[in-house]
Amino acid sequence: MTAILGYIQDMLPYMMIALPGIIIYRLIYNKIRNFEKPNLYHEVGVVIFCLFMIALFSQTIMTRFYTGPVVTRSFSNINLVPFRVFQDNYYAITELNYWQPFIINFLGNICIFMPIGFLVPLLWGKFNRFWKAALIGLATSLFIEATQLSQVRSSDIDDLWLNTLGSMIGYAFYYFSNKRYPQLTQKFKR
């Protein structure tokens, strides 16, 4: 739990710095697009989505101020073996009685992408398809993993499918929310 709180604590400064810029950008964007009365629900949702993306990138690709474990740049830091995460987590739990890799690497990679699968179709109707949410999750994850190849971070093929699964679960939450509360979800569309 302290590791998760540490990640959140590391994200907050990035989010606080970005918030005024995001709000100013949205005001200018709406003025240029001649939206006289912007949809407040949509605008709040877009700001939350942008803050989430800043938080995500701050922990995955902004390594200038990275304070986590240092990984040397070598091909040993690249996992191209699919589903190795199961073997690694099984070993950590059964042999070492260490649950943090399961919580951070397995559940964390799923949970961190759920907002993408939920917020993208909620805010932009043209992405209201399961395959689109999955593709956006996969593309975002692929961008992060490709960027990490040139940094002092490791890159893992399992992150791709775990992140994509997270965006698909996020879309499922959106889908059922939209079925149950369609008037509420429609408020967030432009």
pLDDT digits (tens, 9 = 90+) for 33-70: 888 888 999 999 999 999 999 999 998 887 655 555 55
The pair of three-digit structure tokens given for residue 145, joined into one six-digit string: 């993993």
- For residue 71, name the pLDDT band (cuts at 50, 70, 90): very low
- For residue 103, name the pLDDT band (cuts at 50, 70, 90): confident
Question: Could you please report the per-residue DSSP string of 128-150?
Answer: -SHHHHHHHHHHHHHHHHHHHTT
DSSP three-state, residue 155:
strand
Separation CA 125–CA 80 (nearest Å): 35
pLDDT at 2 over 60: yes
pLDDT at 132 over 90: yes
Q: What phi, psi does 72 have (nearest 5°)?
A: -75, 155
76-101 in b/e form (b: 16+ CB < 10 A) is: ebebeeeeebeebbeebeeeeeeebb
Q: Distances in Å between the alpha carbon of 169 and those of 26, 86, 91, 116, 137?
A: 28, 19, 27, 10, 11
Among left, alpha and beta (phi > 0; psi -120 to 50; other), residue 171 is: alpha
CA 76, 57, 10: angle at the middle one, nearest 5?
A: 95
Q: Where are the domains of the chain?
A: 2-70+83-186
pTM of the full predicted structure? 0.85
